[in-house]
Structure 1
Amino acid sequence: MTHPLPAPALSRLSLLLTSCATLGLLAALPASAQQSGGTVSLGTIFIDTASDGTDDDETIVADQVTSGSGLPSDVMDSSATISVITSKEIAQRGAQTTEQILQYTSGISTDFYGRDDRYDYFKIRGYDATTYRDGMLIGDAFGGVREEPFAFDRVEVLKGANSTAFGVGDPGGAVNFITKSPTGERLREIYGTLGSFNHKELGFDLGDTFAGSGDLSWRLTGKMQDAEAETDGSNDDETFLMGGLAWRPTDRTTVSLVYDYLYRDGYPNSSGYPATGDDFDRDLFLGEPDFNYLDTDRHTLTFKLEHDFGGGLELGTTARYTKGTGGFGYVFLDAVTSEADTTVSRYYFANDADFENFVADAHLLYETSFGTLSSRTMGGIEYRDNHRENTLWYTRAADIDWTDPVYTGGLDLDATDPYQDTTTDTEVASLYLQQEFAWDRLIVQGGLRRDWIDNSITDNLTDVTTESDDVEDTLRLGLTYKLSPNLSLFGSYAESVVPANLGDEPERGRQYEIGVKYRPDGFRGLFSASIYDLTKYNETVTNADTLLEEVRGESRVRGIDLEAKAELTEQLAFTAAYTYLETEILESDNGANNGNRLASTPEHSGSVWADYSVPGQGSFGDLNLGLGVRYTGEYWRSDANTSKTDAAWIWDAAVGYEIAENTRMRLAVTNLLDEKHIAQGGFSTDYYNAGREISVTLNHSW
C-alpha cells in the first residue's frame, strides 16, 4: 500500500520523535530521584473535571479534554476537534441512550435506522464510529453491545483519525465513555422513572470511604428497568450493576478495581413495515411474539494502577477483561407478495454471539522544561486479545396479512442450519509514543504507533481459516498557535487503521484538518470551527440487514463542523451545532457505486438546545426549562443511491423542578411533535423513526 507520506519522511519523523522521547525518559530518572513532593496527577489519560475544579455535573462546558495526541490538555491547547458531553448536559436533556446523548453534537449523525434498536447507530464524519471506555477499546458501535449511559460521568467525542493515540479505529472518529469510579467523597443518589410504554425504572449511585479508613473508598451504581417498547409484542428490560473499590495509600498512588454487569432483555426492532407507501401505525407488529428478542449478558472487570514518582514522571496501567453473550431473533419483512390480499413475505432472522476480550495498557508520562520550552512525553505499550464466535440464521417464515395479522410461532434454531458461522480471533500488540513541545504561543504535538495485528477468521461451515499478519504504522502531527489565551488556531494530520475483514490489507484512513477555538472571558463558553478532508482505503462495510461484510473500496469525506456550548448567565445556557459533509465513493466493488454518496450520511445537519433556569422564591423551588431542535438533511439509504430519506426537524423538551432541597423532578419528551418519517428502507421494508416518548424522573440525593 502507498503510504500518505514517503518512507524517508516517515523514517526521519520516527527518528526525531524517538530521540526526543528517549532523552525525556532518561532525564526523568535522575529528576525523580532528586525531587519529592509535587501535585497529585493520576496516571489515566482522560481528565473528567474542568481545569478550574468545576465538576462535570456543574457545567456543560468542559475545559479539560484528551487531545488527539492522547495527552490530557486544556481544550485551547489541543490540536484536534473534541466535543465533551458532561453529566450536567446529559441530565438537562434527560438523555437515556447513547444516541440521545450524541444527538446534539456536531459531526455526528444518529437514528438513521429508526426503530431498529439492536445497536447504537451513529456515525462520525460519515463513518461508523469506534467506541472506547476510559481510553480502552470496546469496539465498533455498529454490531456491538448497547452501552448503559448511567455507568458514565461524561462522554468524549474524538473527531477524526486517532489510531496513533488510541489504537485501531475508523478515520471518522471515536466515542470515549468515562466510567464512574470511587472518588473518596460521600455520594448518595437514588432515582425513579416512569414513562411511555409502561416504562418503570429504579437507579442508585452511592459512594464513600470505609469507616476509619480514608484511603479506601467504594462506589456502587446500578439500575433496574422494566419496560415495553413502541411496537406491540416488544419489551425493553435491563439490569445493570457496577461496583468499584479504590485504594490510595499515599497522595501519589491509586489502585482501583471496578466490576460491572449488564443484562438486557429487549427487542431488536419493529420488524418493519411493508414498502407500499401507506402510513402504518407505529405499534403495528408484523413479526412473531414468540420470536422477538435482543439479549445481552456481559461481565467486565477493570484494574487500574496509577502512580506519580515525582519530578514530572507518572505511571498509568490499566487492564480490562470482558466476557459475555449476545444475540437477537426476529421476523424480517421481505417483499409485498400481494397488494390485493395485503400480504407480505417474511423471514426469520437471528444472531447468536459469544465474546471474550482482554486489553491491557501501560504508559509513562514525563513532563519537564528546558528554559522557556516545556515538554511532555508519553510512551507506552498495549496488548489486545479479542475472541468472538458469531452465528447467523435466515430462513423463510409464513406470509402475513398486514391488515389482520395472524401469528404462526417462533423458530427452533437448534433444528435450523445457519447461513454463517464464524470464529474470529484478533491479537494486537502495540508500541506508541506521543510528544508535545510548547513554547510561548506555539504548541507542537506528534505521535507514532506501531501495531502488530494477527487476525484469524474461521468459517465453521466450511472449516476454512483465513489468516493475516500485518505490521501497521500510524502517524499524527498537530500544531496549535494561540493568538491570545482565548483564541487558538490549530491544524493536524492523522492516520487510522483497523484489521482486515474481507480484504488482504487492513483498512487505513487519513485526515487533514484545520480549525479555530474561542473561549470568552465574559462567560463560560467554548466556540469551535473546523474544516477537514479524510479518506478511507481498503474499506469494507457491514450491511445492517444481513450483517455480512460488503466491499466498498475507497471513499472520501470533506466537511465543516461548527459547535458552541455556552452558559451566558446563571440562568441561560445553550448548545448549538452544524455540520456540512460532502461525501463520495471513489472505488467500489465492480465500480457500480463509483461517484455516489455515502449511505446514511446527510449533507446538512444541525441542532440547538437552550436551557433556562428560573430561581426559586419562597415555597417555590428552582425551575429549569429546556427546548431543543434537531435538523437532519436528506440522505441516501444505501451506497447504491436509489432511495432517499427526506429531511426532518425533530423537537425535544425537558422541564426540571426542585420539589424540595436535594429532591428534583424532571419531565423529558423526545420527538415532542411526534414527527414521523421513514428513516431507513431495505429489502422492500421501511422503518420509521422513533415516535414521541415521555418520561418523568424523581431524583433525591443526600
Structure 2
Amino acid sequence: MKKPLFSAGQRLLCALIGGSLLWQWPGAVPAAAAAAATQAGAEQSDPAAAEGKPPRNEFALAGIEVTASKETVGRGYVASRSTAGTKTDTPLSDTPQSISIITRRQMDSRSAVNLKQALEYNAGITPGTDSRWNGSMVRGFDVARRADGLQLVNSNFALWDFEVYGLEQAAVLRGPASTLYGSSAPGGMFDLVTKRPTAEQLREIQIQGGTDNYRSLALDLGGQVQGQDKLTFRLTGLTRDHDLPHDYSSFERSFIAPSLAWKLAGNTNITLQAHYLKDKLNGSDEYISIYHPGSTLFGHSGRLFLGEPGYSGYQREQYYYGYFLDHQVNDTFSLHQKFRYGKTSTAYNMLWWSLANDGRTVIRDGRLKVYDDTATSYQLDTYGESKWASGAVSHHAIFGIDYRHGNLKNRSGYGGTMANIDIYDVNYSHAWTLPATAPDYQGKVIQTGIYAQDQISFGPKWTATLNGRQDWYEQNGINPQTGAKTRIDQSAFTGRAGLVYHATGELSPYLSYAESFEPQSGQDRLGNQFVPTTGRQYELGIHYEPHNLNARFTASLFDLRQQNVLTPDPVNTNFSIQTGEIAAKGLELEATMAAFKDLQLTASFTILNNKVTKDTQAANIGKRTAGVAKHTAALWLGTAGDQNRPGWNSGFGVRYIGSRENTGNTISLDNVWLADAAAGYNTGDWQYKLNIRNVFDTFHEIAGFNSTTTYQGEGRTFLLTATCRW
C-alpha cells in the first residue's frame, strides 16, 4: 500500500469540501489536467455518467484530485446496484420490484450477530422465532434463502443456516421470485452475498463479549497472494458461544469460509469457495415461554427447563464448496456459471411432556423423540448474457438453465425412558435410554428450470423487464419401514413483467406483476395428485435516489396472494382440497442514507393486512397469519466515525411492532416500542463499540402458536466489540 501523499490538514480540507464520501487518488495531477481528463473520460471512469445520470462531483485542490461517489461497491452504507432482482448487475432504480440491500456497513453499525438482527430495521420483515435457522417472513409469507443466488436442498430438520459475519451484504427481494430462481415461497427471497476475495489487503480480528456469557472471536483476511498478481484470496472464520435464557441452555458455533479468485485470462475469472459451519444447541432455544390462563403451567416461570441436560438439544454440521465462473466473449456476449455442492446433517433430541393430574408431576417417560436428518445436494446454474441496441431500443438479456439435485435421508425414533420430575422440586441428572431409531424416509429431488429475461430500454425514460421460466420438479421417496412410496411430479411456468419510468434522473416509479410456485405433495380423496401452490403479485412503487445525497428512498403498494392452498375437504375432512387463498395487501416505506458528514440513517414503515381470504371452513376466513403485525416501523440514526481518525461515534434506534395474533387468533399480543443504542470510539487500528438492545428492558411477546403459550422477546442485552484492522 502506497504511503499517503497528503498531510492530515489537506485530507481534512478535502473532507470538508467533498462531504462524507470523498476519496483521494494516489497519483495527483494539476487542476487543469484533472479537469481535462475528467471531461475526456467521464463515461469510461464514471458508472453514473454511463447510466445517463449526472457525473460525480470532482475537485482539484492544491495539486490533488478528490472524487465524490454515491457508493463504493461492497463497502458503502447505501447500495445502489444489485444482481438479486435480475441476475445482472443492475441499478436498483431499474428493478421493477421492491428490494432492499443491507450492507456490511449497516450490519456493523448495529453489531448484528444473526440474520434476524440484520433485517429487523427493514420494511415488511417479520423476524423469525427460532434461533436454530433464523427464519423470517416477508409480507407475511415464508421466503427462500439463497447464498450468492444458489439454494441447496433441505430435509426435515436438516436446514441450512449462514453466519452473518461471513456476509458482505444481504438482499431482500420482496414478492414472487420464481421466474429467476425456481420454486420458492411467495414472500420473496433473501439473497446472502458472501465475502469474496479482494485485491486490497484486508486484515481484521474481532473480539466480542456480552450478556449471557456471550463470547466471540472472528478473523477476516484477504488480499493478493504474494508473488501472484492474478490470485486473490479471502479467509473468514469465527467461533462463538453464549448462554440462552432457558435454564441449562447454551449455544456454540464454529465457522470458516476460504475463497480464492483467479484471473485466468484478460476476460475469464473464476472464484473458488468453501464453507463449513457447526452448531451445537444444548437445552432449549433462546425464547422464554409465557403461559397464559388455561395453560397447565400458568404462573410458572417460562425459563423452567422441562427437558434433561445432556439429552435435549440440536446439533448441525454443514459444508459446501463450489465456484463462480465468468467469461467475457466480446463486448456483446458473456457467459456465467455457478456451481455448489453441499451437505447438511442434524441431530435433534426433543422431549414431549405433559403435566399429571396432581398439577406438579411432569411426565417424561416414554416421550423422547429423536431425529437424525441429512440432505446432500448440488446446484448448477449456467446462463448467457448479451447486450445490444437497435435504433433507440437497447436490450440486456439473459438465457439460462438451472439444475438442482438432492438426496434426502431421515431417521427418527420415539419412546425411550426418562424419569419424571416434580415441577416444584426439580431434580435433573437422571439416566435415560434413547429410543431405537430407524430410517423413515429416503428420497431424491430433481428440479430443472429454463429461463429467459430481457431488460429493454426505450425512449429516454423507459425500462421494461420481461421474464419467463419453465420448471420441472420431481421428488421420489420411500419409507423403508413400510415400503410406502411417495411421488411428486409437477411442472410450472412463471412470469414477470415490469415497467420503470425514469421521470427524472432521481425519481423512478414502476409497475410490475410477478409469479411464484411451490411443489405440493399429497393427493385428494379421489387419488388425484395436488398441483403446486402458486403466488402472484401486483406492485406499484417508486425509487428515489437524489443526486446530491448518498441516499435511497422507496415506496411500494402491493397485492400478494398465495393460491391453491390446502383446506379441509368438506365431503371428507380426512382429506384436503386446494381451494384456499391467503392474501397480503399493504404499503411499505423505506429510507437509507449516509450523508451530512458522518450521519447514517435507516428507516422503515409498513402497513400489512395479511389474512385468509378463501377457506372451506368459514370460521377461518379473515384470520391473520400468526405473529405478523399489521403495523411496524423502525428508525436507526447513527454516526459513522472515521477508522483512521480517533474519535467517538454513536447510534440510537427505535422499533415499533404492532399487535399480532397467535395461531387460530385466540390470543392477541400487545404492540410494543423497543429501543436500541450504540456508542463507539476509534483509535486508529482499533475500534471499540458498545451495543445495547432493548435499552429499557421492555417486556414483550413475539409470537404464539397455540391457545395457551406465547414466547417472550429478547430482554436488555449488552455487546462489547473490539475490532482491529491493519
Same fold at TM > 0.5: yes
Q: Which residue number in structure 1 is paired with residue 650 of structure 2?
A: 625
- Once the two structures are superposed, the pairs formed by residues 119-158 of structure 1 within 5 Å of their partners are 119-138=133-152, 144-158=159-173
Q: 1:214 is paired with a residue of what secondary structure? A: coil
Q: Deviations over 1:218-269 (max 9, x none)?
A: 2111011232222221121111111111110333211121111101112442
Q: CA deviation at 1:642?
A: 1.8
2:65 aligned with 1:65: no
Q: CA deviation at 1:506?
A: 1.4
2:281 to 255, 266, 278: 266
**Do the aligned residues in 2 keep the contact of 1:69 with 1:446 (CA within 8 Å)?**
no
TM-score by length of 2: 0.82
Measured in 2, the distance between the counterparts of 1:301 and 1:121 equals: 23
Describe the shift of the 1:220–1:370 C-alpha distance in structure 2 as closer, same or farther (beyond 3 A): same
Q: 1:483 is paired with a residue of what secondary structure? A: coil
2:368 aligned with 1:348: yes
Q: Aligned partner of 1:257: which letter?
A: L
Measured in 1, the distance between the counterparts of 2:454 and 2:181 equals: 14
Measured in 2, the distance between the counterparts of 1:662 and 1:551 equals: 63
2:452 aligned with 1:433: yes
**Do the aligned residues in 2 keep the contact of 1:652 with 1:671 (CA within 8 Å)?**
yes
Q: Which residue number in structure 2 is paired with residue 677 of structure 1?
A: 700
Q: Which residue number in structure 1 is paired with residue 131 of structure 2?
A: 117
Q: 1:101 is paired with a residue of what secondary structure? A: helix
Measured in 1, the distance between the counterparts of 2:310 and 2:371 equals: 16
Q: CA deviation at 1:55?
A: 3.2
Measured in 2, the distance between the counterparts of 1:513 and 1:274 equals: 38
Q: Aligned partner of 1:696: which letter?
A: L
2:322 to 302, 307, 315: 302
1:328 to 348, 370, 374: 348
Q: CA deviation at 1:62?
A: 0.5
Q: 1:669 is paired with a residue of what secondary structure? A: strand
Measured in 1, the distance between the counterparts of 2:289 and 2:450 equals: 49
Measured in 2, the distance between the counterparts of 1:117 and 1:79 equals: 33
**Do the aligned residues in 1 keep the contact of 2:348 with 2:370 (CA within 8 Å)?**
yes
Q: Which residue number in structure 1 is paired with residue 32 of structure 2?
A: none
Q: CA deviation at 1:199?
A: 1.8
2:266 aligned with 1:251: yes
Describe the shift of the 1:129–1:551 C-alpha distance in structure 2 as closer, same or farther (beyond 3 A): farther
2:109 to 89, 92, 99: 92
Question: Which protein has greater RCO, CA pairs closer than 8 Å, 6+ apart?
Answer: 1
Q: CA deviation at 1:275?
A: 2.3
Q: Which residue number in structure 2 is paired with residue 170 of structure 1?
A: 185
- Once the two structures are superposed, the pairs formed by residues 555-634 of structure 1 within 5 Å of their partners are 555-588=582-615, 593-613=620-640, 621-634=646-659
Measured in 2, the distance between the counterparts of 1:594 and 1:276 equals: 25
Q: Which residue number in structure 2 is paired with residue 544 of structure 1?
A: none
**Do the aligned residues in 2 keep the contact of 1:653 with 1:668 (CA within 8 Å)?**
yes
Q: Aligned partner of 2:285: which letter?
A: N
Q: Aligned partner of 1:237: which letter?
A: E
Segments of 5+ residues of structure 2 without an aligned counterpart are: 1-43, 48-55, 57-67, 524-529, 568-574
Q: Aligned partner of 1:297: which letter?
A: E
2:555 to 529, 533, 543: 529
Q: Deviations over 1:434-456 (max 9, x none)?
A: 00110210001000001111122
Segments of 5+ residues of structure 1 without an aligned counterpart are: 1-37, 42-49, 542-548
Measured in 1, the distance between the counterparts of 2:598 and 2:631 equals: 31
- Once the two structures are superposed, the pairs formed by residues 405-444 of structure 1 within 5 Å of their partners are 405-407=426-428, 409=430, 412-413=433-434, 415-416=435-436, 421-439=440-458, 440-444=460-464
Measured in 1, the distance between the counterparts of 2:199 and 2:288 equals: 49
Measured in 1, the distance between the counterparts of 2:499 and 2:405 equals: 34
Q: Which residue number in structure 2 is paired with residue 35 of structure 1?
A: none
| 260-269 or 55-64, which deviates more | 55-64
Identity of aligned residues (%): 28
2:336 aligned with 1:316: yes
Q: Aligned partner of 1:575: which letter?
A: T
Q: Which residue number in structure 2 is paired with residue 45 of structure 1?
A: none
Aligned length: 639
Measured in 1, the distance between the counterparts of 2:109 and 2:490 equals: 46
2:545 aligned with 1:519: yes
Measured in 2, the distance between the counterparts of 1:665 and 1:501 equals: 51
Q: CA deviation at 1:123?
A: 0.3
Q: Which residue number in structure 1 is paired with residue 506 of structure 2?
A: 486
Q: Which residue number in structure 2 is paired with residue 389 of structure 1?
A: 409
Q: Which residue number in structure 2 is paired with residue 665 of structure 1?
A: 688
Q: Which residue number in structure 2 is paired with residue 18 of structure 1?
A: none
**Do the aligned residues in 1 keep the contact of 2:626 with 2:704 (CA within 8 Å)?**
no
Q: CA deviation at 1:577?
A: 0.8
Describe the shift of the 1:614–1:91 C-alpha distance in structure 2 as closer, same or farther (beyond 3 A): closer
Describe the shift of the 1:289–1:355 C-alpha distance in structure 2 as closer, same or farther (beyond 3 A): same
1:647 to 663, 666, 671: 671
Q: 2:106 is paired with a residue of what secondary structure? A: helix
Q: Which residue number in structure 2 is paired with residue 370 of structure 1?
A: 390
Describe the shift of the 1:123–1:81 C-alpha distance in structure 2 as closer, same or farther (beyond 3 A): same
Q: CA deviation at 1:139?
A: 5.7
Q: Aligned partner of 2:426: which letter?
A: P
Q: Aligned partner of 1:85: which letter?
A: I
Q: 1:269 is paired with a residue of what secondary structure? A: coil
**Do the aligned residues in 2 keep the contact of 1:290 with 1:410 (CA within 8 Å)?**
no
Q: Which residue number in structure 2 is paired with residue 275 of structure 1?
A: 291
RMSD: 2.9
1:404 to 425, 432, 444: 425
2:107 aligned with 1:76: no
| 577-586 or 524-533, which deviates more | 577-586
Measured in 2, the distance between the counterparts of 1:472 and 1:670 equals: 44
Q: Aligned partner of 2:399: which letter?
A: G
Q: Which residue number in structure 1 is paired with residue 716 of structure 2?
A: 692
Measured in 1, the distance between the counterparts of 2:583 and 2:72 equals: 38
Measured in 2, the distance between the counterparts of 1:603 and 1:271 equals: 22
Q: 2:374 is paired with a residue of what secondary structure? A: strand
Measured in 2, the distance between the counterparts of 1:689 and 1:231 equals: 12
Q: CA deviation at 1:102?
A: 0.8
Larger CA Rg, structure 1 vs 2? 2
